[in-house]
Amino acid sequence: MGGDHGPSVVVPGVARAAQALPGVRFLLHGDEAKLGAELAKAPAAKAVSEIRHTDKCIAMEEKPAQAMRRGKGSSLWNAVESLRAGEAHACVSAGNTGALMAISKLILRMGAGLERPAIVANWPNMKGVTTVLDVGANVESDAAQLVEFAIMGAAYHHAVHGSKRPTVGLLNVGSEDQKGHEEVREAHAILRETKLDFDYQGFVEGNDIALGTVDVVVTDGFTGNVALKTAEGLARFFSNEIKTTLTSSPLAMLGALIASSALGKMKQRLDPGRVNGAPLLGLNGIVVKSHGGADANGFFSAIRVATDLARSDFSAEIERNLQRLTAPSDKAEGDPVSAVSDGVPE
């Protein structure tokens, strides 16, 4: 029931998933009348869906604290609860991000050995897609948390984007070891000295995200969110500039007509809906946040991300790397890195 469009986008997204993802079934939590009306127009979705009625929903503008107090019995609460109860393997919502994060953390709790959740962004690059985290769940992150994000991000990229051994970098203001604040340098030391199921490449800079220098870029939520919003703004700016330029004269419009096929491919490549679906990593269950303004194709992309994670050994891979992080054999006794690593909650 959340997002800018509610069932009018969710149900068509489910219909696309029903055709593209055989074997997946859906529990749709929300107003039965509204959901039923949309399902009547989408037989493919109706055939694989079950409605769980509630007339209570959380508004997009509600603060997380309000949602926690008033949210029990809402469509969002019930969706997460169905995941905890084992009725579902993953939860997808286009609703209130803060409420989804707070309620998911309350109901599902954090996974074993993990301290903080992280929000992932799928970032188009010159080679494919870069996984960037955290992009908003945590304003500040210490060294141990950044290491956790690296482990979760690598497992996510492997599960969703198919990389056999993901490459990981820490976002910094330079590539030299002495650059950056203390938390980033400490995380760098831990990742460099610990044997994990991914290739740690060291520090990367902001331009490396779009270049695709590494598969996974790790940062705190403040920096990640600023970078994400900056990129979104630049994408809109360039899109408007191209449109204005190509309609500025009859000759320009003729050129646009000739290049329409190439321009269409570029538009599709930069379409945010193509990479929609931001998992809330670290929870004891799979929760994926769809952009509130996503269309049906974008919502389907979020469902596909959730399905890929549910069908993978994502959680087991995280657990294996956390065990390696604290294994005595990976660290020399008395090594200062060990003292930092031992700060990761068990």
Domain spans of the chain, in order of start:
7-108+275-310, 126-270+315-321
Tokens of 23: 């074997």
The torsion region of residue 135 among left (phi > 0), alpha (psi -120 to 50) and beta comes to alpha
pTM of the complete model beyond 0.85: no
Q: CB of 223 within 8 A of CB of 132?
A: no
Q: Kindly list the distances between the CA atom of residue 71 and the CA atoms of 61, 67, 117, 225, 336, in Å, as whole numbers in the listed order.
A: 13, 5, 20, 26, 45
Same fold, 7-108+275-310 and 126-270+315-321: yes
Minimal CA–CA distance to 191: which of 132, 151, 133? Answer: 151
Cα–Cα distance for residue pair 344/340, rounded to 1 Å: 8
Give the bridge partners for 169, in sequence order: 217
Using DSSP, state whether 18 is helix, strand or coil. helix
Cβ contact 83:238 at 8 Å: no
Q: For the beta carbon of residue 335, count every other beta carbon within 10 angstroms.
A: 12
Residue 239: predicted pLDDT: 75
CB distance 185 to 177 below 8 Å: yes
Report the C-alpha gap between 317 and 339 in whole angstroms.
24
| pLDDT in the model for residue 332 | 40
- Rounded to an integer, what distance in angstroms lies between the CA atom of residue 313 and that of residue 271? 29
Which overall architecture, per CATH, does domain 7-108+275-310 show? 3-Layer(aba) Sandwich (3.40)
Residue reference for tokens 């956390």: 322
Whole-angstrom distance, CA of residue 220 vs CA of residue 282: 15
**For every one of its 346 residues, what pLDDT tens digit does the chain have, with 9 covering 90 and above?**
988 899 999 999 999 999 999 999 999 999 999 999 999 999 999 999 999 999 999 998 888 888 888 889 999 999 999 999 999 999 999 999 889 999 999 999 988 778 888 999 888 888 888 999 988 888 889 999 999 999 999 999 998 888 889 999 999 988 777 787 889 999 999 999 888 889 999 999 998 998 999 999 999 989 988 988 888 788 778 778 788 887 888 887 777 777 777 766 666 666 555 668 889 998 999 999 998 888 999 999 999 999 999 998 888 888 888 888 776 544 444 444 433 444 433 3
Copy the structure tokens of residue 345. 């909650």
Residue where the block lists tokens 């994000």? 149
Non-local (6+) Cβ contacts of 245 within 8 A are 252
What integer pLDDT is reported at residue 28 of this predicted model?
A: 97
In CATH terms, the fold of domain 126-270+315-321 is: Isopropylmalate Dehydrogenase (3.40.718)
